[in-house]
Amino acid sequence: MLPLVLPEIIVTVSLLSVVVQIFDLCLSNWTVIAAHVLIYTPFYIAILNGAFQSLDLAMEEAAMDLVESRFQHFA
């Protein structure tokens, strides 16, 4: 498991040093949340991109017929 986890540990420690030394921020819940968002956003994008590509285009066309925008028919 170490080869899978080691790159994330290195990124996390480097992000911690950047937050503490360069930006001079104290560690809090908000810095932990911001770090998680920063690290995991590419994973979310990859997963959602695959899910959105598998959607049926007929649903989008039906939503357009009902005068909805592209964003509204996902809601």
pTM: predicted TM-score of the whole model, two decimal places: 0.56
**Count of domains in the chain?**
1
So what's the pLDDT on residue 52?
A: 81
So what's the pLDDT on residue 42?
A: 86
The residues near 25 (Cβ < 8 Å, ≥ 6 apart) are 19, 31
Cite the beta strand spans of 1-75 per DSSP E.
none
Per-residue pLDDT of 6-60, as tens digits, reads 788 888 888 888 888 888 888 888 888 888 888 888 888 989 898 888 878 787 7
**Rounded distance between C-alpha atoms, residue 22 and residue 18, angstroms:** 5
Residue-range definition of the domain harbouring residue 42: 2-74
Per-residue pLDDT of 52-74, as tens digits, reads 888 787 877 777 777 777 677 66
So what's the pLDDT on residue 9?
A: 80
